[in-house]
Amino acid sequence: MQLQDILYSQGFGTRRICAGLIQQGLVSIAESTPTDAALDVDPQGLRFRVQGVEWEYHAPAYLMLHKPAGTECSQKPSTYPSIYTLLSAPLRQRPQKGAVQGVQAVGRLDQDTTGLLLLTDDGKFIHRLNSPRHHVPKVYEVTTRHPIDETQVRRLLQGVVLDDDPQPVRAAACEAVQPHHLRLTLTEGKYHQVKRMLSAVGNRVEGLHRSRIGSLELPADLLPGQWRWLTPTQVDALRGSGEGAAGAK
């Protein structure tokens, strides 16, 4: 694969821009600084530096982000900063089908919700994890205004009716960790679902944090606003989540 095509695929600009970076000696591989933009390079496992910043080749890209409060999961936010501003520029500029689209969030979290968010430029992966048909579990840590009682837990497990859907919505798992701390597992995603489910049982969400998707738990050392690449093992495990697979949403 030509070096300029590698840089282009990773979001470092148009092919002309990428060729210019190489020709100006701003791209290095190991201890060498090639200036031939058409140099044939094996991209698998490749690590390189662009203007002194180290980068690793990923095709496609899979990453996790610890979403902080006060951010929107939108490319064009209305009120709060976009979560995409937390990512490195190449991730926002990765080309897809000839257009600059960058990585996309796998589902959304409300602006005041924190926790685990996945991003990728793999459309099939996004569909696999978002589709209610696959029942990928997601775990939410819910802080409630009123103490949780057994009746509320039972109703959430049995199913509650939301105002826009006559079919009951059920929690896959529900545990009162502390009087005001509920651990809720869902396998589908509806608009403001957790907040509406708690409202339906006579309570109110004061804080919401997603701690797990499928088998992937938010790492304790990944601080709000930080992101990291998913490992191939983590990607494979996420693809296998749901449909009776072990793990929590």
Q: Are 140 and 183 in contact (CB under 8 A)?
A: yes
Position 55 scores a pLDDT of: 96
Superfamily of domain 138-213 in CATH is Alpha-L RNA-binding motif (3.30.70.1560)
CB 14 within 8 A of CB 29: no
pLDDT band at 99 (very low <50, low <70, confident <90, very high): low
Of the candidates 125, 198, 190, 128, the one whose C-alpha atom is nearest the C-alpha of residue 160 is 198
CB 141 within 8 A of CB 194: no
Domain ranges of the chain: 3-56, 62-131+216-239, 138-213
Confirm whether 42 is a catalytic residue: no
Each residue of 39-84: pLDDT tens digit? 999 999 999 999 999 999 999 999 999 999 999 999 999 999 999 9
Confidence of residue 98 (pLDDT cuts 50, 70, 90): low
Dihedral class, residue 147 (left if φ above 0, else alpha if ψ from -120 to 50, else beta): beta
| Residue 100 pLDDT class (50, 70, 90 cuts) | low
Give the fold, CATH level 3, of 62-131+216-239.
Answer: Alpha-Beta Plaits (3.30.70)
**Catalytic residue among 110, 149, 163, 165, which?**
110
Domain 3-56 has CATH 3.10.290.10: yes
pTM above the 0.85 mark?
yes
